[in-house]
Copies of this chain bind each other. A is one copy, B any other.
Amino acid sequence: MSAYGLHRVVAPVGVLPQQADRLDADPTLRPDEVIVDVERLNLDAASFRQLREAHGTGPAIRDAVVKIIEERGKMHNPVTGSGGMLLGTVREVGQESSLGLTPGDRIATLVSLTLTPLRITDGLADWDGAGEQVPCAGTAVLFGRSIAAVLPDDIPDHLALSVLDVCGAPALTDRVVRRDGTPSVLVIGGGGKSGSLSLAAARRAGASRLVALVPTESEAQALRDAGLADEIVIADARDPVAVSKAVGGQVNVTVVCVDVPGCEHGAVLATADGGTIVFFSMATSFQAAALGAEGLAADVEMIIGNGYVPGHAAYALDLIRTEPGVRELFEARERQTART
């Protein structure tokens, strides 16, 4: 069980690191571990919002984060239950480590801070508490099962992190589409980050007909300019009948990337018997999907989008390098975020 980091759990004994109250963050290397010199924490949005509301910005929020990390041995917000990820440089690699990392690699962790042993040595002195990006000095520990991506030299950090955030979607889309031969594919929410990457993945994997469904004409126009789909249709993903009419003939594979609740039935109606639906949206309801398919007597296989597929980070970064349409959509989104 060492690959899951059970040996780093201090209390309560016997649970997984994510469930633990406290981890051992001592940066002494064990054979299957990797020690990282941390350069920056990215607190997840929900955690940062809660901390700011409780402590404001400035010294109080800084002290609160330092205290959490000291007490828990990890940046695991006890109120929100969430963490974030970190950037750093590999210091030491154990001889039994299976992560394929080398000292000096600049990496981002793709597993949550809620399960990553972390020690801070500078009291977060360089952080003003005003944003979720936390410059810091300290160390983190990766296990055999931790996931980390080496940051590429040729892609700006901010763009790479934005891609890595959703890199499970294109990798799993690739796998499902290839397994099906040359299926017709629908991506609901094709204009977003995971959606545009999934469209590019589906095309490469051999989709015979590629449909993107988006909510607005402006998103449709952006997708047309990017050239990522054969057909671009506009409908409210929460309206099953509207989705079905907009898509026309049912598809073999549907990929749901819209982060709003209530998209399960539209996906079911749009998918042919024998087909597959992959739900990447974290707003998906297990119950709505199960009961929806049953109520519509739809013989569809519904997959919970697992954020981990071997090779997912490299594959997504390759898409952003080689698909100008995808990169343009990501950069337009960043420009828009910067403005607001």
- Ranked nearest first, the 10 interchain pairs of A and B with the lowest CB-CB distance are A294-B307, A302-B304, A286-B286, A145-B297, A293-B306, A294-B308, A284-B286, A289-B304, A147-B297, A297-B308
One of A12-20, A185-193, A318-326 at the interface: A12-20
Cα A114 to Cα B292 in complex, Å, equals 12
In the complex, which residues of chain B have a beta carbon less than 8 angstroms from the beta carbon of A1?
241, 244
Q: State the number of copies, please.
A: 2
In the complex, which residues of chain B have a beta carbon less than 8 angstroms from the beta carbon of A130?
none
CB-CB contacts of A208-242 with B at 8 A, as 1s and 0s? 00000000000000000000000000000000111
Which A117-162 residues have a C-beta within 8 angstroms of B?
145-147
**A265 on the interface (CB 8 Å rule)?**
yes
Interface residues on A, range: 35 or more
CB-CB contacts of A266-300 with B at 8 A, as 1s and 0s? 00010000000001001011110111011111111
Distance in angstroms from A74 CB to nearest chain B CB is: 12
Q: List 30 A-B contacts (CB under 8 A).
A: A1-B244, A4-B269, A14-B242, A16-B240, A16-B241, A18-B295, A19-B240, A110-B294, A111-B297, A145-B296, A145-B297, A145-B298, A146-B297, A168-B294, A279-B286, A282-B286, A282-B287, A282-B290, A284-B286, A285-B286, A290-B305, A290-B306, A291-B307, A293-B304, A299-B310, A301-B303, A301-B306, A302-B303, A303-B303, A304-B304
Question: Is the Cβ of B298 less than 8 Å from the Cβ of A308?
Answer: yes
Question: Is the Cβ of A309 less than 8 Å from the Cβ of B299?
Answer: yes
**A47 on the interface (CB 8 Å rule)?**
no
Q: In this complex, what residue of B is CB-closest to A277?
A: B304
Distance in angstroms from A77 CB to nearest chain B CB is: 15
**A6 on the interface (CB 8 Å rule)?**
yes
**A112 on the interface (CB 8 Å rule)?**
yes
